[in-house]
Structure 1
Amino acid sequence: MSETSDAAKAAQSVEAEYASAEQPPALDTDAEDVGLMAVPATAAGLPATAQGHFAVVNANGTLARGFGVVSSSRLALGQYQVIFIQPVTRSAYTATIGLTGSVGASPPGEIAVVGRAGNANGVFVQTWNSAGAPADRAFHLHVSS
């Protein structure tokens, strides 16, 4: 038998073993260390230090809904600002193109987010169509602090 076929059979044997196996149990040390690094949760279930704010913004810049958001506005074609209740300069911003309602299909496009120059509570959002031209698009923005 060749070395290649031996190696292939060994690989198949290992693959078959893992394909039928479940995840191994967590090690006791893994479970013990979690409590040392975890932050106590608030009544809402979030760590006391966590802040999660979001805004759902219509293509015309008006605020559809949100949490921890003060306002949103369209500045120019495909340019928006969203203002939150607290400084967000040390936060993470995540955004996606998407309709503000619960049904329908969003037009395709691109989106970019960055902190708002001159306003520590703000986020600057830019949207484009799929060809790369500025375009007004509704979007969902999440800020994690």
Structure 2
Amino acid sequence: MATFLKRKATVVALAALSLTLAGGGIAAAANPAAKTAAEAGQPGARQPGHQPPVTAAESRAAKAALNATLAAPTPGLVAWAVVSANGTLLQHSANVVSAKKFSPSVPGQFAGQYQVTLDYDIHLKSLHATIGTNDPANVPPGGEVSVAPRYLTPNAVFVQTRSSSGGYADRPFHLVIAN
């Protein structure tokens, strides 16, 4: 009799487990309004990362800034900048010359793409960026930021900001170039 009850208990437990799993699968399949990754707050597919082409005017301006150099900060010091979402240079160290936002209406340029120009060669320097503002509350919007040396421009930095879901988005940022 004890063996019969053990077998019966095992069968009942397996049946309950099977019904639970099947019911959960049916309930998930019956939910047509399932949220997309973006609605659920999960990162979506990333757009390809690339820099806009360098124009002749940008190249001339970068060369002029490089030729009119102060002195590069000595090792251990940093150059820094605070840039608004519209590309305005809000605060900066002496070696930062300019900041600009690329226009998403121009082919090959997207929202959230910026260039910060310095008066010295930044290749082989350590580049760091973070989303941030300089407003009194200092609560930046959510998002992501990446930074790289500017293609074909030795004294400029390329910054790409994105929304938290990975889409191109204009965001204010802080930039540090460690020497």
Normalising by structure 1, we get a TM-score of: 0.64
1:84 is matched by which residue type in structure 2?
A: L
Provide the rounded CA distance (Å) in 1 between the counterparts of 2:145 and 2:100.
16
Look up the match of 1:73. 100
Tell whether 2:172 aligns with 1:138: yes
Alpha carbons 1:100, 1:139 under 8 Å: kept? no
Distance of 2:155 and 2:134 partners within structure 1: 23
Which of 139, 160, 169 is the matching residue for 1:126? 160
1:84-136: per-residue Cα shift (whole Å, max 9, x none)?
Answer: 11110110001000112232421100000000011111000000000111000
Q: Tell which structure's C-alpha radius of gyration is larger.
A: 2
Give the structure 1 partner of residue 82 of structure 2. 56
Q: Which has the higher strand share?
A: 1
Pairing of 1:1-145 with structure 2 (within 5 A): 48-67=74-93, 68-76=95-103, 77-145=111-179
> Within 2, Cα distance between the matches of 1:111 and 1:133?
11
Encode CA deviations 1:49-75: one digit per residue, 9 max, x unaligned.
Answer: 334100100000010010020000001
Give the paired residue count: 99
Percent of pairs identical after alignment? Answer: 40
> Secondary structure of the residue that 1:59 maps to in structure 2?
coil
Cα root mean square deviation, aligned: 1.5
Q: Distance in 1 between matches of 2:129 and 2:151?
A: 18
Name 1:16's counterpart in structure 2. Answer: none
Name the SS of the counterpart of 1:100 in structure 2: coil
Measured after TM superposition, the shift of residue 48 of structure 1 is 4.5
Verify the 8 A CA contact 2:132 2:138 in the aligned structure 1.
no
* Contact 2:118/2:155 (8 A) holds in 1: yes
